[in-house]
Amino acid sequence: MSQSYAAPGQLWLLPQSEQEGLNFDYRQVLDVVEGAYRALRENGSNNPVKTVIEDPDDHSLSYSMVARDGGTNTVCFKAVYEFDPSRRRDDYRFHSFIFIADDTTGAPIALMDVVKLGPLRSSASSALFARAACPDARSALVIGTGVQGQMALPMLVAALPELERLQVCGTYPDGLRAVQDSVEGREVEIVDDLQKAAGEADILIGASGLSVTKVVQRDWVKPGSISVLLGYGVHDVFHGADYRIATDITQMQVTCGKLRGPDGSLPPIDGELPDILLGRTPARRDPGDVVFAYNSGMAVTDAALGRYIADLALAAGRGQRVDFW
């Protein structure tokens, strides 16, 4: 049964401050995000390719996305604007929100800040890639200490609780401490020798921003590993990988400009995450394959996770209603 989120003519606002402390854990987030990917094939979901505006000089980055999650009957519109994404002018700004609506009743649900929801669903996607390709992994390395980097390890531990060694490489002391504090009761090693750490890790997560200074090289990674790219830091692995997978191949064609070869070409992509989760496509061909996964955010996961968080916020009496229509 659909819930009432706001009176007719009103819009429910959920800034990030109203989402803090809601009662969910990373395993629940994994389940919600996995369900959204499965619904793309099973429940009539739809996730058109995002529209992107990117300045050649990295002055700003803007994109919009729309999707319908058939599992929850939720429509999502997402907008993102980044100013100075390469941090070259030390004037970085990030603004993002989603508007979600109930596609059963036609009623609006909420306008939500997604400064943390986005990294939550991206980290969940990375963990789903890793679990599928390296179910017996014992070590994980994260490159980058921003919001994405801080969520990567706890999500990986939720997906793969048998992980024994957790490592992080970054340049900002506050970010390194935040990553170390992100996994309760677990030690997270700070890496000085990136080449050595990359050569020992089963799972590598590239979560750095455009200003990345340390990059994993393809020759460093060991057979059987997976390198997941959702920012920067492991992109050199792409062209030399034995097996390549993505959240969505069509969207990758739009968003992976910096991965193209000098002639503008891309090597073939072997599978997509929804088919891997459904067992229709393998996550690797051979146990010794070096696997590369391209993690491009999909609005269908924003729809499902946004609906989940909105329902938790509704039960907790969060947010504010404003007369809008």
pLDDT exceeds 80 at position 86: no
Residue 254, pLDDT above cutoff 80: yes
Non-local (6+) Cβ contacts of 21 within 8 A are: none
Cα–Cα distance list, 14 to 78, 120, 229, 269 (Å): 14, 16, 29, 38
210 and 85 Cβ atoms separated by less than 8 Å = yes
Nearest to 85 by CA among 76, 94, 77: 94
- pLDDT confidence of residue 231: 87
> Would the pLDDT of 238 be above 70?
yes
State residue 33's pLDDT score: 98
* Residues ≥6 apart with Cβ < 8 Å to 10: 321, 322, 323, 324, 325
CB 30 within 8 A of CB 155: yes
Residue that is written with structure tokens 């300045």 in the block: 55
Closest CA to 129 of 250, 48, 243: 243
Report the chain's mean pLDDT, rounded to a whole number.
Answer: 93
pLDDT tens-digit readout, 159-183: 999 999 999 999 999 999 999 999 9
What was the pLDDT predicted at 324?
94
* DSSP label of 95: E
pLDDT tier, 87 (very low <50, low <70, confident <90, very high otherwise): low
pLDDT at 1 over 60: no
309-319 mean pLDDT = 96
Which one has a higher pLDDT value, 77 or 253? Answer: 77
Q: What is the pTM of this model?
A: 0.94
Would you say residue 50 has pLDDT above 90? Answer: no
Region of poorest pLDDT, from 2-6, 78-82, 189-193, 281-285: 2-6
The answer, yes or no, to whether residue 196 has pLDDT greater than 50, is: yes
CB 220 within 8 Å of CB 143: no
Confidence of residue 69 (pLDDT cuts 50, 70, 90): very high
**50-64, 126-140, 212-226: least confidently modelled range:** 50-64
Contacts 24+ apart (CB under 8 A), 256-265: 256/294, 256/296, 257/54, 259/235, 259/294
Separation between Cα atoms, residue 198 and residue 170, nearest integer Å: 13
d(CA 307, CA 233): 31
